[in-house]
């Protein structure tokens, strides 16, 4: 069997990769495919698994969490479809951890130069070092019109900035934007991967992507002399994205909706069409409005990309997204930050084909026009981190009691707003009929507004309570 192994470059990445090589050799794995410098974005790993028909992948990442000697490290397993392991598989793995009493590992150290492309042998184990960014570009060229994008990027009155946040996106951004689209070096910031992400928190949002936010004119106390027309950021493993315009923030929910509404301007969807769309339950219903108007099926799934993958494998889903800055399509089985950026550049390119050279249909223009067509979902999320588990569980228990009151007819309003539904979200997969229960508490009002509460397990300390507020106009 062949496995793909790479990471986002955080502290311990190389050491862990060497350990995996030793364990793979001792356990009879036939081949490992590893990225140059043991780096590959999570979307690229998914693409390589699918292209090379690998058995699966081991991804060394803690996603958007900080890195460094005292910070987070993570190991993620992806299956043969290129997507995150299913709950059934992770349950099996967990059960193994309860009974395992020994493990096999080679005593010798592998003689592999991760900085050089080529083939190596470690006992019976074959190792291939590949150029991840170049492989990824091949896939992107099958989706987007790079010639049109290159012409648009060269436009005199257009400028953009891409922030890799010192994560693995850096080499991919250089290959895509500089080598392929001809952008200048000034278009890239924080593009050198660092073990500690430069001391920052590689989460592409308004709080942590401070430099990009300032450059796009969104910082309250600082206004730069020149503000680019377009800005984007990636997280540590480059599967998440944030989209900004000049002094304008595009929420992830609106970004998903705008991409779906304009999918016909992307060559990939011109060929295949949009089979269906999906969002995670806490994500705003903006994409639902688009799907309804276009006559496309729209699925509401629990948080977690694996739920999208099942629908994609069944050929029911083309585009999907999460409010936590994740967007993607069925070209792979992971969210893909660079794909989302190229989708936005494609939309900008199309909208400006007939505009005068000295003017620009902006990001804000596109989103504003979208709101005029489909309405606007005002949306906000509040995170309460490192909360004591007992208090968090008590709060969720109280919310569940309110659901019981709604079911019995005792509760019909919250703050004078009439309730249409109060429940604990449960999802039955339409493909395999598997059930995922206890996915968050929802209060849905008759005017389309929503309040959602979730306990999240993505942090490393304590409980995290997430509250989502939404109003449609």
Please check whether residue 12 is in contact with residue 75, taking contact to mean a CB–CB distance below 8 angstroms. no
Q: Report the distance separating Cα 302 and Cα 1, nearest Å.
A: 32
Task: Classify each residue of 171-202 as buried b or exposed e, where b means 16 or more C-beta atoms within 10 Å of its C-beta.
Answer: bbbbbbbeebbebeeebbbbbebbbbbeebbb
Residue 445, CA distances (Å) to 39, 133, 258, 405, 442 in order: 46, 46, 25, 15, 10
Q: Are 350 and 342 in contact (CB under 8 A)?
A: no
| Residue where the block lists tokens 């356990």 | 27
Closest to 21 measured CA to CA, from 9, 8, 4, 37? 4
Tokens linked to 56 = 């699966």
Q: How far is CA 420 from CA 5, 64, 251, 345, 363, in A?
A: 48, 35, 26, 39, 35
Q: Of 473, 470, 428, 426, which is closest to residue 452 (Cα–Cα)?
A: 470
Name the DSSP class of 365.
Answer: H
For 142-247, where are the alpha helices, taking DSSP H only? 146-153, 169-173, 210-215
Q: How far is CA 92 from CA 80, 97, 99, 100, 370, in A?
A: 16, 9, 11, 12, 45
Residue 250 contacts residue 336 (beta carbons within 8 Å): no
Tell me how many degrees the CA angle 280-284-288 measures, rounded to the nearest 5. Answer: 85
Could you tell me if 48 and 277 are in contact, meaning their C-beta atoms sit under 8 angstroms apart?
A: no
* 63 is an active site residue: yes
- Containing 5, the helix (H) or strand (E) segment is strand 2-7
Active-site residue identified among 46, 63, 159, 280: 63
Q: How would you label 392-419 residue by residue, b for 16+ Cβ within 10 Å and e otherwise?
A: beebbeebeebbeebeeeebeeeeeeee
Q: Which residues are catalytic?
A: 63
């Amino acid at each position: 069997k062949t496995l793909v192994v790479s990471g986002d470059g955080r502290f311990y990445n190389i050491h862990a990769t060497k350990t995996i090589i030793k364990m793979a050799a001792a356990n009879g794995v036939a081949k490992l495919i590893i990225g140059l410098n043991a780096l590959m974005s999570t979307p690229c790993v998914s693409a390589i698994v699918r292209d090379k028909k690998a058995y699966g992948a081991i991804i060394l990442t803690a996603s958007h969490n900080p890195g460094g000697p005292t910070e987070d490290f993570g190991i993620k397993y992806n299956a043969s479809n290129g997507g995150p392991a299913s709950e059934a598989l992770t349950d099996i793995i967990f059960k193994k951890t309860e009974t395992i009493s020994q493990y096999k590992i080679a005593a010798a150290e592998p003689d592999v130069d991760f900085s050089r492309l080529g083939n190596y042998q470690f006992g019976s184990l074959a190792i291939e070092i590949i150029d991840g960014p170049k492989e990824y570009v091949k896939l992107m060229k099958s989706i987007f019109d790079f010639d049109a994008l290159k012409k648009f990027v060269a436009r005199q009155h257009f400028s953009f900035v891409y922030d890799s946040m010192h994560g693995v996106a850096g080499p991919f951004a250089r290959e895509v934007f500089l080598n392929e689209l001809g952008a200048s070096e000034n278009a890239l910031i924080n593009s050198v991967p660092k073990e500690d992400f430069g001391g920052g928190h590689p989460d592409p949002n308004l709080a942590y992507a401070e430099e990009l936010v300032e450059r796009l004119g969104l910082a309250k106390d600082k206004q730069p002399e020149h503000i680019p027309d377009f800005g984007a950021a990636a997280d540590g493993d480059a599967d998440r994205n944030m989209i900004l315009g000049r002094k304008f923030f595009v929420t992830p929910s609106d970004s998903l909706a705008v991409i779906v509404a304009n999918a016909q301007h992307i060559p990939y969807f011109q060929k295949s069409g949009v089979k269906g769309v999906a969002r995670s339950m806490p994500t705003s219903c903006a994409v639902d409005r688009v799907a309804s108007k276009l006559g496309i099926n729209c699925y509401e799934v629990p948080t977690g990309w694996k739920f999208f993958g099942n629908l994609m494998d069944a050929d029911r889903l083309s585009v999907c997204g999460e409010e936590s800055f994740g967007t993607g399509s069925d070209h792979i089985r992971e969210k893909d930050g660079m794909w989302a950026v190229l989708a936005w550049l494609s939309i900008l390119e199309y909208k400006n084909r007939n505009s005068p050279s000295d003017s620009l249909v902006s990001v804000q223009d596109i989103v504003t026009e979208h709101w005029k067509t489909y309405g606007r979902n005002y949306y906000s999320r509040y995170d309460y981190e490192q909360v004591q588990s007992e208090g968090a569980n008590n709060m969720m228990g109280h919310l569940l009691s309110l659901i019981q009151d709604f079911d019995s007819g005792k509760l019909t309003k919250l703050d004078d707003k009439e309730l249409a539904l109060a429940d604990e979200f449960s999802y039955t997969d339409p493909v395999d009929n598997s059930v995922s229960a206890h996915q968050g508490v929802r209060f849905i009002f008759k005017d389309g507004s929503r309040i959602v509460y979730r306990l999240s397990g993505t942090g490393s300390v304590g409980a995290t309570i997430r509250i989502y507020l939404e109003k449609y106009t």
